[in-house]
Chains A and B, each alone.
Chain A
């Protein structure tokens, strides 16, 4: 058994029916006949593939897009969109329970309607998938192929018995869930982000293995739906790459929500006993066993590099790191590019988008855009959210850049206090002695929105000093950025300056 078998809902309703008819080929769908040599052949109909196809076709290029399953890829079907949708519902339940803190009465009884939450998720997913249907892409002049694709030569791809010749190709095959090698896990069954959104009942007891973004987001969401959640993380903190304080705030938030947080802990083995799964855990010298109904695995994602003929195409790859690329996203076959999860360390939809745009310009228009020049923000949508852009302090120090951090706790931000959302901070890192922003981390209930202002400043080369000139409507939580700028501009009064100022103001 590869992963948990989930019975389909008794009735998927119209939304789900529409969903399956959109990103998947319509019944009776027939692949087009290849028409000569394509300017660009794209393997993978996820965000990177679809965006590159639309952009290239928009410029008049002859484009073929090949998808083996559902158009839209992980993000739309089994990733960001479904998770954010159920997170929204779970936040609502958390707010209802916490109503007293806002001067309101909490409902006498709060009954979680898990099925309704999942139905809403499917509805949202269907609505957002309308733009990526095979029909719409075909109408835009893209030859859409469904089927398994593999390189047949260095300049041709084989799909469903047809050879597609290309001048340039893009590998955008994405990634799939990485499954830990825990003895007994496969036999007992497990969920991944590919199957968890098909659940029809909220598991009473859920074990989440992995404290990365996906594990953290879903652990909190299911906890708020009423699951008794245990989260196991091998490292001493969640979100390994994030700032220690951010991870600490998240741990505290989890504990407050009632999640059983097990850091420095590994799952050793899984046994099935009746309907429940017994998981043996170990943390240093402390062993324990938890009994759960479902196990959700979220330890990362593995690039889809197998069975697509990369060897034949002369494209080098690594099963862990993915397709090997240079800074221009070219593979070791200079005619073939890669974008998104299959080749990049950070596996986020917006990075897939950005890398796909680079590929279109570099592959079709002799562009020389570098992926390293991108300013890439990301956000983990827990409550509070954790967002980051640019460099971390440790990274800057490793590069020999002295750093000073301007910190504004959210409890100093009027709007955050008014909203009862004081948990978190805005930390803006500048190169010491200058106002150049090299990175920032925001922990706040809406950190994903706040970080955009800082990303904009970094992209536009606006320093922290000049950011003070930006006027924010009062009161907003993003004004924390303004407060950090004010701290930067706070005059440092040396005795000499103080004396001069006193003289100047002596009128």
Chain B
């Protein structure tokens, strides 16, 4: 909340100086305001004001097919200048990040239901923003949906292949009352899934842990099954539980012999990293990355653990997630700052203590999903709000989901 520009509602990607705004982080912030009100961290009026500020900005900001706009076709650029709100870092018009932003807007709309003018405006704006998105424009015959677009070069080369965090994106796209995706796009995507037995667990495979977490921050997928999961007699929630255990299994094996890895120290996911500093003398082949999607069991793995990933798995596997949190607090208390976990740490590399290298500052995505997942674990607030969202219900049905609360 400290990283919000109170002139436009945009939230910085990280606490680092000069960080731009990330629309995904704004989506998380919009979802956190209801939690903040419920928990008494914020007055309702104050939250309403912030939500309105944000939604008004996105509704009024410029849309166009050249550089210098905030979005195009209803989608938004991944990174925006925190002050002007225009595209920055030459970022892509991002489908998934727009979906996270819209999920936040719809969450706020589902929470702020008082019959006041302000709250009515929140609902209208969220609906208008959602309806404006031209999902069908991003369709691709081969891959179903493109991942993004740039004004300089058009659609990105790659689509959605293999299981990933895109359930939310497809659900929103399928349910659109204005530009609905045909359900075949979802089938095209799920036909690239791989159901694997790894370390004794049968699960829908994806390497980085965030893939198994992000859609679940908003959509309660417990007991809901699409055609793929009906075939496998599982569901995406159970799948995320297994994926969390697979992460722990990998850390126990620790094939590269990195320091710190173990029963309570796991979590390879999209996170910050130490970057390409010179390798240490005892590990000449140790190739390090900066911000990257790390995953198990095939890597990349440079010894960097994202401690927040355990908390983001809290609803799926609370027993090992809490155990992991206790471990971080007890073993590496120095890496906690203002009670916040860093984006990543790497005990194999030299640092100020046993925690080794620690990511500087904090990232909005990590902090946002921690808040949502703790809340979902404790009260299911966000899940309940989104269960009542007609677009989510319709999108899930269009994707072939049945059962559970649906």
Contact = CB atoms under 8 A, between A and B. Distances in A.
B289 to A, nearest CB: 9
Interface stretch (A208-216, A347-355, A394-402): A394-402
A244 B161 contact: yes
Interface string B75-96: 0000000000000001000000
Contact of A100 (B150, B200, B284, B298): B284
A284 B198 contact: no
B299 A404 contact: no
B196 A490 contact: no
B197 A404 contact: yes
Interface class of chain A by DSSP: mixed
A276 interface: no
Interface stretch (A3-11, A220-228, A245-253): A245-253
A31 to B, nearest CB: 50
Contacts of A490: 200
The size class of the interface chain B forms with chain A is: 20 to 34
Interface string B191-202: 111111111101
A398 B158 contact: no
B200 A284 contact: no
A425 B202 CA distance: 16
Contacts of A57: none
A101 B257 CA distance: 12
A235 B298 contact: no
A194 to B, nearest CB: 30
Contacts of B200: 487, 490
Interface string A481-504: 000000110100000000000000
A252 B156 contact: no
Interface class of chain B by DSSP: loop
B157 interface: yes
Contact of B285 (A98, A404, A411, A427): A98
Contacts of A256: 285, 287
Contacts of A235: 157
Contact of B194 (A249, A252, A393, A488): A393
A406 interface: yes
Contacts of A244: 161-162
Contacts of B284: 100
B195 A405 contact: yes
B231 interface: yes
B152 interface: yes
A406 B197 CA distance: 5
Interface of B: 90, 150, 152-153, 156-158, 161-162, 191-200, 202, 205, 207, 231, 253, 255, 284-285, 287, 297-300
18 contacts: A100-B284, A101-B285, A235-B157, A252-B287, A264-B156, A285-B150, A398-B191, A404-B196, A405-B196, A405-B197, A407-B196, A407-B197, A407-B198, A407-B205, A411-B253, A412-B199, A432-B231, A490-B200
Given A252-B300, A284-B152, A405-B195, 6 more contacts: A249-B298, A255-B287, A256-B287, A284-B150, A394-B191, A411-B255
